Structure 1
Amino acid sequence: MKKPEKNSGFTLIEITVVVSLISIMLFFAVPQFRNTLLTDSINHTSRWIMGKVRVIKEYSTSKQKLCILHVNLDSNKMWVSEETMTEENLHQANEKGFEIPGDLRLINVEYPQKGIISSGQADICFYKAGYSDKALIHIQRDDNEKVSFLIEPFLPTVKFYEKYVGFEDL
């Protein structure tokens, strides 16, 4: 005698429910994914600047060395040096520096006393005593949206502004 066949498969209702759930999840996830792609370079750059400033301040204080964050506005690059580096080490540090992503551009670096530096290289010093130069780093996206990073002399954190901010605005 033959055993009855089992129908293995999904019913139309089960398939409809699964497709509906996947559609709802994609409806909410895709716009967030698109926004992540658009803001990824500014987030990456922000994390680098904020993290690097904190590390440089701690390092210069603990090792009792003058450290400098070099912001090269012409090559769209940032790199760090310290006072005891040789010429060869300085060149290597420059070569290994952080390159700003292609859709971003360093506009300028602003100091309260020195003013605005828009071309060449701007240096932000981090001193042995634990303080640094006060400076604003301005970055622009391809879509003309501008952001600013404020480095405070006595604070380990960098303040991020989602617009162009000068010292007269603070």
Structure 2
Amino acid sequence: MPGAPSQRAAGIVSRDGRCGFTLIELLVVLVLLSLVLAFTVPRFRATVLDDPLNSSVRLLVGLIREAKQRAPQSHRGCFLAIDMDGGRLDLVCRLPPDRRQPEAEAADGEDAQGEDTPLTSKTLPESVRVVSIHQREGEPVTSGIVRLWVNRQGLMEPAIINLRGDDETIGLTVSPFLPAVELADREIGPDDAGWRR
């Protein structure tokens, strides 16, 4: 038949009429796949996992999630302190009185865990810095220490955090009602987040 494809076009035809591939053909495909993976996996790791800016973003998002999880268990909520000049990230949560250490009790009944005693403290790589933080009210902050509060219900005040690496910037938008942090591959401001002034 002139219009019908031959059985040989699909592969090798065995004596009983079944089609398939030879062992050599399968080995050639496996070798080619191995070569492609050998060259792409290290490059993927270098660009995504080992990149200081991307790892800093993952670190910051992880601390935000941890603050939202720990805040309902604390007495007065938590805050994430971001030292924009030193690149330090501190998560501070105040424990209820029955869960504090006895030696940490204050003489006058104040919360004795301490204002600056972090549960978790991380430092950003030297090549990454926080360039600006926007909060609902006021102008963007470009230096100093900014505290982002999480209340006892686990709701974080809205904020925009811009991180800059060697050659790129990533913007993070934190919403009180959304569980995920939104990311953008550029510096963002209140207009980009839909905030109205």
What TM-score, normalized by structure 1, do the two folds share? Answer: 0.74
Larger helix fraction of residues: 1
Identity of aligned residues (%): 20
Match of 2:56 among 33, 38, 45: 45
- Asked whether the 8 Å contact 2:136–2:159 carries over to 1, the reply is yes
* Residue 142 of structure 2: aligned partner: 118
Deviation track 1:76-130 (CA, whole Å, cap 9, x = no partner) reads 111111244534x835x28x61111233221121112122110011110001233
* Structure with higher RCO (Cα < 8 A, 6+ apart): 1
* Residue 151 of structure 2: aligned partner: 127
Give, as a single letter, the amino acid of the residue that structure 1 aligns with 2:47: L
Say whether residues 1:148 and 2:174 are aligned partners.
no
User: Over aligned residue pairs, what C-alpha RMSD do you find?
Assistant: 2.7
Q: Map of 1:55-134 to 2, 5 A cutoff? A: 55-83=66-94, 84=111, 86-87=113-114, 90-91=116-117, 93=118, 97-134=121-158
- Asked whether the 8 Å contact 2:70–2:93 carries over to 1, the reply is no
Report deviation, 1:70. Answer: 0.4
Tell me the number of residue pairs that the alignment of Structure 1 and Structure 2 aligns: 151
1-side partners of 2:63 and 2:112: how far apart?
18
- Asked whether the 8 Å contact 1:53–1:157 carries over to 2, the reply is no
Deviation track 1:1-24 (CA, whole Å, cap 9, x = no partner) reads xxxxxxxxxxxxxxxx98996575
Post-superposition, which runs of at least 4 consecutive aligned residues in structure 1 deviate over 3 A? 17-24, 26-29, 83-87
SS state at 2:63 partner:
helix
Change (3 A) 1:166 1:32: farther
The runs of 5 or more residues in structure 2 that have no matched partner are 1-25, 95-110
Report deviation, 1:37. Answer: 1.3
Report deviation, 1:168. Answer: 0.8
Change (3 A) 1:132 1:24: closer
Report deviation, 1:34. Answer: 2.0
Report deviation, 1:60. Answer: 1.1
Give, as a single letter, the amino acid of the residue that structure 2 aligns with 1:157: A
What TM-score, normalized by structure 2, do the two folds share? Answer: 0.65
